[in-house]
Amino acid sequence: MAKTSEHLEEATIRFAGDSGDGMQLIGTQFSETSGVAGNEVNTFPDYPSEIRAPEGTLYGVSAFQVHFGTHHIYTPGDTIDVLVAMNAASVKVNLPTLKAGGMIIANIEGFDERNLKLAKYTTNPLDDGSLSGYEVHAIDFHKEIKAALGELDISSKLIGKTKNIFALGLTYWLFQRPLDATIAWINKKFKGKDDIILANVHALRAGWNYAQKNPDFKTQYVIDRSALSPGRYRNITGNEAIALGLVVAAKKASMPLFLGSYPITPATDILHAISGYKKYGVKHLQAEDEIAGICSAIGAAYGGSLAVTTTSGPGLSLKTEAMGLAVMTELPLIIVDVQRAGPSTGMPTKPEQGDLLMAMFGRHGEAPMPILAAASPADCFDITLEAARIALKYMTPVLILSDGYIGQSSEPWKAPTVESLPEIKAYFATDPTDFSPYKRDEKTLRRQWAIPGFEGMEHRIGGLEKEDISGNVSQDPANHEKMVHLRQEKVDRVAQDIPEAVVEGEQEGDLLMLSWGSTYGAAKTAYERMRASGHILSFVHLRYMNPFPRNLDDILNRFERIALPELNSGQLQFLLQAKYLKRIIGIHKVQGKPFKSRELEEKLVNLLTEKEILV
Amino acid sequence: MKTQLNDLLEKPHQGQTDYTAKDFKPNVDVRWCAGCGAISVLSPSQRLMPELGIPKEKIAYISGIGCSGRFPYYMDTYGFHSIHGRALPIASGLKIARPDLSVWVVMGDGDNMSIGGNHFIHTCRRNVDLNVMMFNNEVYSLTKGQYSPTSHRGQITKSSPLGALDDPFNPAALALGAGATFVARGHDKDRTKLHDLLKRAYEHKGVSFVEIYTNCRIFNDGAFDLYTSVETRDNYTIELEHGKPLVFGKTRNKGIILDGYTPKVVNLDQGEYSINDLLIHNEKDSTLAFILANMTYSEELPRPMGVIQAVQRASYEERVVNQIEHEIVTKGEGDLQSLLTGESSWLV
Ligand SMILES: Cc1ncc(C[n+]2csc(CCOP(=O)(O)OP(=O)(O)O)c2C)c(N)n1
Ligand code: SF4
């Protein structure tokens, strides 16, 4: 039967199976190939917190979702068009997000009695008609791969390991992706192991051929190249982007980079990346705990390194006392918090924006520091450079908020050239005449920074209150008040040095949607869709959480209503209401899951049409 | 990787380095109580610095919190008075980032063994080249007199009016157990010996742990009198000297022999034992070091003073540098542009 092809603007595919089924691997391959094919891509790995959850179980499903299209893709997709299911549990778990009429490509091996039982099915969904609302392709992957191998003598075990690649080949047919990039990757990855290469390449082709020959597959979907600006692209996760940003920032500032860190999900990938950058001269310490992590970074900062500590919620709480020390000693330091669902150990692999208030206030005494929040995986890179710039220019610790969602999801990123990136400057005090450790730059209020090794400026710093200018220990009441104000003023002045917030849509009016951090993708998508369907609303995304952009007050006052989605119970809402005395309508989700853009759209449409606050 | 910072730091020292102790005294009043044991560590330190022959700006003192934490204010070098228990990770970060510096760490027994216990064992294990002075006064002084992890069982303090229930840490044994390469003990009543110990600590590459008995006049006065006062110390302590037999006593009439693995005091006056029968101290022998350290709380045995162990192991910050250099030699210096572009990229 002749095949037809159909053009789509975008599509979402989800590969799901057991932890050992290689779903993360083919998901990554699919997204890279889609990038090469000229699409915009956004991905999200979604895996259980157990290392190897028992096979076949509902809680053991590991998945990788890829959303790709011709226009800019801001999220990994709300709903799934194509579900690749390696077993029964993956169907059960993912069915709620599969589009009505969506496609299921199922490996029937994973639907035997044992798997059905583990997935808590009493009858086989592939046979019992319960999936009649979907386009189901039940295929024996193993048999097809074996047939494709023909006379070749490949062990059954090895064939079993290529099932994911078969599925990948099939989806490549479906979306007209080229095979060559993946074949090259297979050859490189398994170099020297010819039988493995052979088996995988055959499996990939077998998947593609299966769909091509099988009359059940009638349509190939075409997603045109997007109008990406020309350049060299790569996929990048937020965590990778932060690691890169740190190396680049140090290089730009002509300083050594030091990372002091203790492993914690989902921040650990930054430590992994940095520890592999030895040839860039990077030093790191995997410390005995979070406190040692930040303290070693403070020591390195004191010694003149661009110093960093990375962590997630539980680790951030351990660092609070040392963060106060960094504030008091006015040393530049970057603190990265890749937020996860809390409190306590919470849900380690799930995202939440629950640490904003801790970032803002979670220190004893009044210890303000600039806080930046990354909007997307690629934005993590820019935010990191910006954090370094501010930390060095103002001599202050700076906290970066990311989260498990953007930390682990990926998007294509146009790799910048080193020269095109902004210069970053460290301001060392090199002249001993007139040196005082707490004498300040008039404009930024940054103190003079003399590091050990500079002659004639030997001095002592520490956590005890400092006398203005001299930096000597002081208990003087008036001096303490002055210093508290000075430290605050220094952070406040950063507002003069950061971009103003940008309003998309009408500059004033009825409804403004405000977002921060990783909710950007869903918010932006909802905003664009609503605008396209004629709704009137405006949009602002915040990347600077402390201080806020200088025009924010003005913006908030230009709108009658402000809606603010957050993956918490209203933390930014609380801050804005307190600071600007302006009522904010909070849209909250605390499920350890990111917003779907449709979710936001629905709420915003309600706000617009019913003029009622239905959130 | 060469940085602008390195360029700045490589500028030669302009002035002279033939300092005197006075050059290390900043113009501030020492605000420890009169007679505080900590004061007795200050002058040996100020005397030692000129002997090191390094420019003043290359020296940094890092302290935690406690009475001892004030120490950096009294040394005219670079200094950092940090937070309770955390001097070691701060000093480690500094030393790893800046191997060119001579980094000294000052801590109290509470600071180091209680709140900072975890950092202490891991710093010993890593063997960061730090000179660590722990002022042991067997009490928390700055918080006005609670028992500490080195207080003895039954010690009456503000927070143990009926006597402390826990047994103390033996800091030297703890350090050895955690892998410290240099472990020594001194006290505040003999500044010359203390000076020599600190010098040895400086010369040792790797972590040097020096436990210093410092009398707290206010909250635990006389705690170490038996071991430090001129009248009694010869009978209650033993000065360890590498390669020398373990002799002690006012008239040097007593010694230590090994009975199996158990040290025993023998009398040299009675003809049964001579100096040739005695155990010989060997700083390089880790097994012996444990035996000696374990003599600390014994009622029958003298308390060992001096260098208990001095063995060599590559220091941590050196390994960091070596790993970086090895990587650069084998793979070439990292190219930032290719890092940015990544391993798989595509052209649009
Ligand atoms: C996090 C924290 N907990 C408690 C304290 C209070 N504190 C200050 S010093 C100290 C103990 C000091 O004892 P030690 O280390 O033996 O030093 P000393 O004062 O005897 O020299 C305590 C508990 C503190 N500063 N910080
Ligand atoms: S309280 Fe004790 S330790 Fe503290 S300064 Fe006075 S004598 Fe020294």
pLDDT tens string B237-289: 999 999 999 999 999 999 999 999 999 999 999 999 999 999 999 999 999 99
Cα separation, A410 vs A416, in Å, equals 17
What are A8's two structure tokens?
Answer: 């789509």
Mutate which of B142, B147, B169 for ligand 1 pocket (most atoms within 8 A of beta carbon): B142
List pLDDT tens digits, range A161-200. 999 999 999 999 999 999 999 999 999 999 999 999 999 9
Question: Rounded to whole angstroms, how far apart are CA atoms B99 and B3?
Answer: 15
Of A228, A251, A299, the CB nearest to B97: A299
Confidence of residue A613 (pLDDT cuts 50, 70, 90): low
Min Cα separation B312/chain A (Å): 22
Quick count: other Cβ atoms within 10 Å of Cβ A185?
17
Q: Using 50, 70 and 90 to split pLDDT, how confident is the model at A612?
A: low
pTM of the model: 0.95
Q: With contact defined as beta carbons under 8 Å apart, do A299 and B97 qualify?
A: yes
Compute the average pLDDT of residues A372-393: 98
pLDDT of residue A611: 60
Q: What is the pLDDT of residue B343?
A: 86
Low-confidence ranges of chain B (pLDDT < 50): none
| pLDDT value, residue A122 | 96
Q: Give B98's strand partners.
A: none
pLDDT (0 to 100) of residue B220? 98
CB of A323 within 8 Å of any CB in chain B? no
Distance CA B129, CA B201 (A): 10
Cis omega (within 30 of 0) for bond into A547 = yes
In sequence order, the 6+-apart residues with CB closer than 8 A to the CB of A209 are A148, A169
Give the pLDDT of residue A367: 98
Chain B partners within 8 Å of A281 (Cβ): 1, 324, 328, 333-334
Contacts of A79 (CB under 8 A, 6+ apart): A12, A97, A98, A99, A102, A596, A598
| Shortest alpha-carbon distance between residue B97 and chain A (Å) | 5
Which amino acid makes up residue B324?
Answer: I
The model's pLDDT over A125-139, given as tens digits with 9 standing for 90+, comes to 999 999 999 999 999
CB within 8 Å: A283 and B4: no
How far is residue A602's CA from residue B7's CA, in Å, rounded to a whole number? 59
Phi, psi for A258 (deg, rounded to 5): -130, 130
Q: Which residue has the tokens 């350290």?
A: B293
Residues 171-230 of B with CB under 8 A from A: none
In a mutagenesis test of the A interface, which of B5, B326, B331, B347 is the best target, namely the one with the most A β-carbons within 10 Å? B5
ipTM above 0.90, yes or no: yes
CA pair distance B303, B232, nearest whole angstrom? 12
Q: Which of A420, A458, A474 to mutate: most B Cβ within 10 Å?
A: A458
Containing H/E element for A539?
strand A538-542
Are A545 and A516 spatial neighbours (Cβ–Cβ below 8 Å)? yes
pLDDT, residue A310, reads 98
Chain A residues within 8 A of B14 when measuring between CB atoms: 455-456
- Rounded to whole angstroms, the Cα distance separating B259 from A214 reads 87
What is the reported pLDDT for A1?
A: 57
- Per the listing, tokens 């480690």 go with B92
- Helix residue spans in A473-570 (DSSP H): 477-493, 520-532, 552-557
Instruction: Name which of A356-370, A388-402, B9-23, B167-181 the model is least confident about.
Output: B9-23
- Tell me if chain A has a CB within 8 Å of the CB of B339: yes
Residue written as token pair 């070596």: B322
> Distance between CA atoms of A547 and B117, rounded to whole angstroms?
38
Please tell me if residue B57 touches chain A, with a CB cutoff of 8 Å: yes
Cα–Cα distance measured from residue A154 to residue A150, given in angstroms and rounded to the nearest whole number: 10
Q: Does A365 touch chain B (CB under 8 A)?
A: no
CA distance B263 to chain A (A): 36
Phi/psi at A307 (nearest 5 deg)? -110, 145
From the centroid of its chain, how far is CA A167? Answer: 27
- pLDDT of residue A291 exceeding 60, the answer is yes
Q: Whose CA is closest to A83, among A65, A68, A58? A: A65
pLDDT recorded at residue A49 = 75
Residue A112 has pLDDT above 80, yes or no: yes
| C-alpha A452 – ligand 2 centre gap (Å) | 29
| Closest residue in chain A to residue B340, using alpha carbons only | A415
What is the spatial distance between Cα A299 and Cα A333, in angstroms, rounded to a whole number? 10
Interchain CB distance below 8 Å, B345 and A258: no
The predicted pLDDT at position B109 comes to: 98
CA angle centred on B50, ends B38 and B205, rounded to 5°: 80
Backbone angles phi, psi at A185, to 5 degrees: -65, -40
Q: What is the pLDDT of residues A1-55, one digit of tens each?
A: 589 999 999 999 999 999 889 999 999 999 999 998 999 999 998 888 777 788 8
Q: Read off the pLDDT of each residue in A379-403 and give the average, rounded to a whole number.
A: 98
Amino acid occupying residue A491: V
Q: Which amino acid is at A399?
A: L
Contact status, residue A461 vs residue B80, Cβ threshold 8 Å: yes
